[in-house]
Amino acid sequence: MLQRRRRPTDRQSDSRQRRNALHLKEKLSRRQARIGVIGLGYVGLPLAVEFAKDGFDVTGFDVDGTKVAEINAGRSYILDVKTADVAACVTAGRLRATTDMSKLGEMDAVDICVPTPLRKTKDPDMSYVVSAAEEIAKYIHPGMLIVLESTTYPGTTAEVLQPMFEARGLTVGEGFYLAFSPERVDPANEKFNTRNTPKVVGGTTPACSEVAAALYSAAVDTVVPVSSTQVAEMVKLLENTFRAVNIGLVNEIALMCHRMNIDVWEVIDAAKTKPFGFMPFYPGPGLGGHCIPIDPFYLSWKAKQSGFECRFIELAGHVNGSMPEYVVERISEALNTCRKAINGSRIHLFGIAYKKDVSDMRESPALDILQLLHRRGAELSYTDPYVPSLKEGAVCLRSVAEDEVSGVDCAVIATDHKAFNYANMPGRFPLVMDTRNALKGNAAKNIFRL
C-alpha cells in the first residue's frame, strides 16, 4: 500500500510545533514563564503557592475581592496552606492576586481551577468554566498554555474550550497549547499534598501534553502523562466514583447490620485484617465536599448522552443521599428510649463541615440533618471550631463553644473533628448519636451508632 507523501506544509507545521513547544519548555525550565491561576480556592491557592515557591512569577485571578486582598496581604484563608508560605512568596514578589482579568494577557501558562457544581436537575453547571475560558479567549496569545483542572465530564476540554480558543485564530498544538489535569486535593490530609500527589496530564495534542507535563514537573514530584484530555477527564471521575460507590455499599451494609443487630464497625475492623482483596470504607451520615457527591453525576450525565444508563452509580448515589434521613430516624429512636419526640427536643450537632478538620461545608450531610431536624420541630444548636456561623434555609445559627453546651437532650457527632473532647460526651449528655464511630470502644448504653 502506497503511503501518502507528506506535503511541505505538513513538515513546516511539525517544525513550528516543535520550535514553539521547545521555546515554552525552555521558559518553564528557566522559571521565566509567568503563570496564572484562575480560582483561588482549595485547588487554586495551593497550586499557585507551589509554583511561586519553586521560583515562578505567579498571578492568582479571582472574582472575590476579599480573597485577593488576603493574598496580597500575605495571609492564607485555606487551612492546608500556611500563611508563612503565602507571606514569603508575596514578599519575594513571586505571588500576587487580582480581579483584573486583562492581566491574563501577560501570562505564559494559565490554570483554570474554578468550581463545577451541579444544577438542581443534577446536570453539570459549566458556567464558571465557560466564564473563565471566555476571559482567557479575550487575551490568548501565541505560545500560551491553558490547563483545565476543574472536575468535569469527558470531552469538555475538546468540545467546549478548544473551539472557544481556536475561534481567536490560533491552532491548538501550534499556536497555543491546551490540556486537562485533574485536581487531586484532599483537604486536611497530613500525608499527601499538591507536591507529592502524582499529577495526571492529558493534552489535546502530543505537543500539548509535553508542554503541560513540563509545567507541572516544576512543582509536582511525579507527573503521569496520558494519551488525551478525555482520558485525563475520565481518570478523576473514576477515582471519585470508585469512592462514592464503595461508600454507598458500606452504607447499605450499615443499614443491613442495624436490622440484624450486628456492629458494622466491628465487621469492618475484622474484614480489613485481610491483607489482599479488601479495602476498608466506612459508613457515615452521607457524602459531602466538592467532589465525591458531585463527580458521579457528571459521569452519569455524560453516559446518558451516549445512550448508556449508569444504574450501579445512580443506585450508590441514592443510598448515600438517603443517609441523612436515616441518621434522623436513628436520633428519633434514641429519643424514644427516653420517651421524647424530636419535636421540642434540644439537639446539638458536633461538626458541620463535610469532613474533619476542614471549614468546607459544601454538600455537607450535617446541613441536611439540620434541615430535617428543623422541619420536625427540634431546637437546634451546633459546635464547629472551623464554622463560626451558618445560614441554611430557615436555620441561622452561631457555633457554641464546646464547654458551654448544656441542657441538650441529644448530642449528634456529625463530623469528627480532632478538637472535640469525645471522652466526656457520654457523661455530659443523656443521649449521643455517633455517626462517625468517634466513640469507638466506649460501651456506654446512651451511645447510639449507625
Name beta bridge partners: 145.
Answer: 109, 177
Report which residue type is found at 435: T
CA distances from 3 to 6, 13, 15, 177 (A): 9, 19, 21, 29
Which stretch of DSSP H or E encloses residue 87? Answer: helix 83-91
Map grid coordinates 427540634 to a residue: 378
Task: Please name which of 265, 261, 200 lies closest in space to residue 231, comparing C-alpha atoms.
Answer: 200
Cell readout for 187 is: 483537604
Of the candidates 39, 51, 79, 295, the residue with the CA atom closest to the CA atom of residue 187: 79
- 247/359 Cα distance (integer angstroms): 22
Catalytic annotation, residues: 291
Q: How far is CA 108 from CA 141, 142, 275, in A?
A: 9, 9, 48
CA distance 112 to 60: 10
Q: Element (H or E) spanning 144, and its range?
A: strand 144-148
Residue 228 C-alpha cell reads as: 488525551
User: Distance (Å, rounded) from C-alpha 306 to C-alpha 154?
Assistant: 11
Q: Which residues contact 209 (CB under 8 A, 6 or more apart)?
A: 179, 201, 202, 203, 225, 226
Task: Judge contact between 238 and 48, C-beta under 8 A.
Answer: no
- State how far the alpha carbon of 340 is from the alpha carbons of 44, 143, 177, 247, 374, in Å: 48, 69, 64, 32, 16
